[in-house]
Structure 1
Amino acid sequence: MPHIDYYFATVSPYTYLAGTRMEAVAEKHGATITYKPLDVMALFGRTGGTKPAERHESRKALRLQEMRRWSKVLDMPMNLQPAHWPTNPAPSSYALIAAQKAGGGDLGKLVHAITRRCWADEENIAEDDVIRAALQEAGFDPSLADSGMLAGAEEYARNLEDAVSAGAFGAPFYVVDGTEHFWGQDRIDHLDLHLAGKL
């Protein structure tokens, strides 16, 4: 049974644009998933990347155009300059970590519920009430937003180290069985083909 380590950031526009397509591909091929939310800005610094705010103006302009185009291609509403971005991704990431441990809901739906609130719904995903609503939407106990903070912080930091060790350098990033790497929501089709034995 193939396994996917899924490195992502709750503040990443491309994690939002991934929706739940990766989960559908994993289910189709019987793959398991470990969700590994991390600090993508720190990951950029560790792996030779540049934070969006520090990029050349031409790169910033293309990023916005790409986001606009992909939102239309995928028919997903998106505010290219959301009111609450950047924001602190740690609280929502801790909640995801707690939800993965607790079980009982849909983790893919939870990632999407959180990222959608940032990139389409103009909500601050660092706020407890917003995180609780996302947890409830995805079938989890909303009180998970308030539990396991220390363990969540430790795993959040460990996810960053795991990403660097695994060769991940952006979000979303999918590593299959520790060897095959797929970077970006635009590579989910390639992930599908790989799991089908065609790539």
Structure 2
Amino acid sequence: MRSLDYYLSLRSPWAFLGARRLEEIAQRHRVKVAVKPVDFGVIFPASGGLPLPKRAPQRQAYRMMELKRWSAHLEIPMVFEPRCLPVPEELAARFVIAAEATGGDPLRLAHAILAAIWQQERNVAEVGTLEAIASETGHHANTLAAKAFDPETQVRYEALTQEALERGVFGAPSYVLEDGEIFWGQDRLDLLERALAERSQSAA
């Protein structure tokens, strides 16, 4: 089975909007998604990006307009300014990494965390909230929490961030094929699917 590396921020509205379609594409093309939460607080300054509060007002206004357009276009309801934001995402990232390390379903957990922010306005910086989401997605909450606080999990988070930088990732979500081709943003998912289809035809 082919693989696809999925670099994301667990508070990205764009990752949230692309979540369902990514799962559908992976299923159609029999692709295993390697979920890789990374620290864009490190990636942005290294790649010329700016965190949202530091962007020009025009860019912030256009971002909001685009969120509303895409939410309507995809028929995915969302809260555009969740009361839980801004929220640190490091702990949520460690929970997702822990799901991978313990044989769980990191993709399901990551997408549930995104929905917790953008539809349910839950504070995913709280251990209790993350444990509840873990249970809701079929994971053993105590096992994930213990692994999330393992120093090795933090080392893995930092290593994934460095890996993303080395591969040229600069924005979230980014979907990277095995040959290194990057598709940045949920609005590139159609192009990603076309590339997967082309590669399947070439291999046939």
Q: Normalising by structure 2, report the TM-score.
A: 0.91
Q: Which amino acid aligns with 1:173?
A: S
CA distance in 2, matches of 1:95, 1:87: 15
CA distance in 1, matches of 2:76, 2:108: 15
Root-mean-square deviation over aligned CA pairs: 1.6
Q: CA deviation at 1:148?
A: 4.0
Provide the residue aligned with 2:7 in structure 1.
7
Provide the residue aligned with 1:194 in structure 2.
195
CA distance in 1, matches of 2:91, 2:15: 17
Q: In the TM superposition, what are the counterparts of 1:106-185 in structure 2 within 5 Å?
A: 106-143=105-142, 144-149=144-149, 150-185=151-186
CA distance in 2, matches of 1:146, 1:52: 32
Structure 2: runs of 5 or more not aligned: none
Q: Which amino acid aligns with 1:102?
A: T
Q: Which amino acid aligns with 1:117?
A: A
Q: CA deviation at 1:96?
A: 0.3
CA distance in 1, matches of 2:92, 2:115: 12
Mean Cα displacement is larger for which, 90-99 or 18-27?
Answer: 18-27
Q: Deviations over 1:121-174 (max 9, x none)?
A: 111000112111211222111111232421221111111100110111011101
CA distance in 2, matches of 1:12, 1:112: 11
CA distance in 1, matches of 2:65, 2:148: 39
Is the 8 Å Cα contact of residues 33 and 107 (structure 2) preserved in structure 1?
no
Question: What is the aligned length?
Answer: 198
Question: SS of 1:147's equivalent?
Answer: helix
CA distance in 2, matches of 1:49, 1:109: 28
Q: In the TM superposition, what are the counterparts of 1:24-43 in structure 2 within 5 Å?
A: 24-43=24-43
1:145–1:20 distance in 2 versus 1, CA, 3 Å: farther
Q: Deviations over 1:79-124 (max 9, x none)?
A: 22111111110111100000011124x3322111101111111110
Q: Which amino acid aligns with 1:90?
A: E
1:49–1:163 distance in 2 versus 1, CA, 3 Å: same
Q: Normalising by structure 1, report the TM-score.
A: 0.93
Is the 8 Å Cα contact of residues 26 and 32 (structure 1) preserved in structure 2?
yes
Provide the residue aligned with 1:23 in structure 2.
23
- Percent pairwise identity: 35
CA distance in 2, matches of 1:51, 1:84: 17
Question: SS of 2:63's equivalent?
Answer: helix
CA distance in 1, matches of 2:113, 2:14: 13
CA distance in 1, matches of 2:136, 2:20: 14
Q: CA deviation at 1:45?
A: 1.1
Q: CA deviation at 1:47?
A: 0.7
Is the 8 Å Cα contact of residues 20 and 108 (structure 1) preserved in structure 2?
no
Q: Which amino acid aligns with 1:122?
A: E
Is the 8 Å Cα contact of residues 20 and 109 (structure 1) preserved in structure 2?
no
Provide the residue aligned with 1:86 in structure 2.
86
Q: Which amino acid aligns with 2:52?
A: P
